[in-house]
Amino acid sequence: MRHLQPTEAWRWLQSCAQAAPERAPLFVDVRMEIESLYVGRPPGVVNIPWYEYPDLTPDPQGFARKVLEEAGSLDRAVLLICRSGKRTLDAGAALEAAGFTDVAHVVHGFEGELDEHFHRSSRNGWRFEGLPWEQM
């Protein structure tokens, strides 16, 4: 699995979309749907939760199956994002175990690490870097 800083990930998505839109990476938000909708998310991301409320229990095979349905093939590049870059490590490992050949994740995720006041988006992450995002 490749570990991309937020700006690297955004540049990669943009360059692939311009060069070969039909082969652009599938951008997957692994957060719960409510997180993705209300906290915000990058444009063009597909929400496929690693786990969902109320169970909060991952289903690695089910997750990989849903990603494959969206991706169309195991060799399509997949970029994962979550809140802080932790869930994507497990989700990415599940995709690789399922046979995906090109998996990357956004280091520090959408909101980034906690600061000394227990706040996010103040040290690193997608939003901190000023990259495009939308919110419901």
- CA–CA separation, 50 and 63 (whole Å): 6
**CA 95, 26, 23 angle in degrees (round to 5)?**
115
Question: What pTM does this model have?
Answer: 0.95
27: left (phi over 0), alpha (psi -120 to 50) or beta: beta
Report helix, strand or coil for 72: coil
**Is the model's pLDDT at 18 over the cut of 90?**
no
Q: What is the pLDDT of residue 32?
A: 96
Tokens, residue 64: 């990989």
> 59-104: per-residue pLDDT in tens?
999 999 999 999 999 999 999 999 999 999 999 999 999 999 999 9
21 DSSP assignment: G
Mean pLDDT of the chain: 95
**Residues with Cβ within 8 Å of residue 27, at least 6 apart in sequence:** 13, 42, 44, 45, 46, 79, 81
- Any idea where the domains of the chain sit in the sequence? 2-106
- Percentage of residues in the chain with pLDDT exceeding 90? 84
26: left (phi over 0), alpha (psi -120 to 50) or beta: beta
- CB environment 93-115: b (16+ within 10 A), e (fewer): ebbeebebebbbbbbbbbbbbee
Q: Classify domain 2-106 at the CATH superfamily level.
A: Rhodanese-like domain (3.40.250.10)
